[in-house]
Amino acid sequence: MLRLGCATPFVPRVPMSALLVLCSHPDPAAAEILAGALVEKRLAACVNLLPGARSIYRWEGRIERAQEILLLIKTTTDRFDAVKDHIVSAHPYALPEVIALDVVAGLDRYLDWVHSETMTGTSA
C-alpha cells in the first residue's frame, strides 16, 4: 500500500494478530459482568461498553428493535475462540453477535499491551 506523495510503501506494524470483537448485549449489568470476566480471564485486554446502541434486525421472520450495549473487545487471534466460547456460554441471546475485525495498524505500544494482557500463564 502506498501513501499519497510517498515512494515508500506503508507497511503497518502489527506485533501479533490483534482483533476488535463486536458483541451487542441487551442488559447493561450483565454486559458489565461479561466484560469483567473477559478481562479477568485474560481473554481480552480491554472491553469498552457503549450504551445506547439502537439495533433493528430481522429475527424469526419479524423486524425487531432493541436498545443494546455494544461491547468493543480488544483481544488477539490466539484468544478469539475462547472469547467466542465465553460469550456464547454467558450471553442471553440464542444467537449472540460475535464479529471479529482484524486490526491492521495501531500504536505499537498499545498493540504490545493487548498481546501481553491476553497471554496465558501470566499472573494478574
- Average pLDDT of every residue of the chain: 90
State the CATH architecture for 18-117: 2-Layer Sandwich (3.30)
pLDDT at res. 91? 97
The set of cell numbers assigned to 18 is 490483534
State the distance between the two ends of the chain, measured CA to CA, in whole angstroms. 39
**Domains of the chain by residue range:** 18-117
Whether the Cβ atoms of residue 49 and residue 32 lie closer than 8 Å to each other: yes
pLDDT at res. 124? 46
Between vectors from CA 35 to CA 42 and to CA 116, what angle results, nearest 5°? 25
pLDDT in tens, 26-85: 999 999 999 999 999 999 999 999 999 999 999 999 999 999 999 999 999 999 999 999
Percent of the chain with pLDDT over 70: 84
pLDDT at res. 112? 94
Is the per-residue pLDDT at 9 higher than 70? no
pTM: 0.85
